[in-house]
């Protein structure tokens, strides 16, 4: 139930055209989401370098995997790669599995 309420509040903030989303609204939303899972804003500050590295790592592998799926015209894989986020693991497995197809 809590997750549903969080999703509704996020949707309301994003889709509400009467009010513009500003940095303060985003920070409040982020803080309330973290608190629901038992974290604080200090967690983000303390681990910001690790979070940034994980985001870059994931973006690189996702970009490579999406490029290969598009090049091989694998629409199903392309959609799956867009939806599933596993910090680069799913993308890495896909790249290894399709290595021989690209080599030909």
Residues 52 and 17 both lie in one domain: no
Question: CB neighbours of 70 closer than 8 A, spacing ≥ 6?
Answer: 78
Instruction: Please give the model's pTM, rounded to 2 decimal places.
Output: 0.59
Question: Residue 62 belongs to what domain range?
Answer: 48-103
Q: Is the pLDDT of residue 12 over 70?
A: no
Residues 53 and 99 both lie in one domain: yes
Angle at 58 between CA 22 and CA 48, to 5 degrees: 55
- Residue in 94, 64, 61, 60 with CA at minimum distance from that of residue 80: 94
pLDDT tens readout for residues 37-74: 888 888 888 888 998 898 899 899 999 999 999 999 99
- Contact by Cβ (8 Å): 94, 68: yes
- Contact by Cβ (8 Å): 91, 64: yes
Q: How many domains does the chain have?
A: 2
pLDDT, residue 19, reads 54
Residues 54 and 24 both lie in one domain: no
């Amino acid at each position: 139930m809590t997750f549903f309420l969080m999703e509704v509040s996020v949707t309301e903030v994003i889709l509400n055209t009467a009010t513009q989303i500003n940095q303060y609204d985003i920070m409040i939303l982020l803080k309330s989401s973290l608190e629901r899972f038992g974290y604080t804003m200090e967690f983000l500050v303390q681990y910001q370098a690790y979070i940034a590295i994980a985001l870059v790592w994931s973006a690189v592998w996702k970009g490579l995997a999406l490029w290969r799926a598009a090049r091989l015209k694998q629409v199903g894989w392309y959609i799956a790669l867009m939806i599933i986020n596993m910090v680069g693991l799913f993308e890495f497995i896909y790249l290894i599995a399709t290595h021989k197809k690209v080599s030909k």
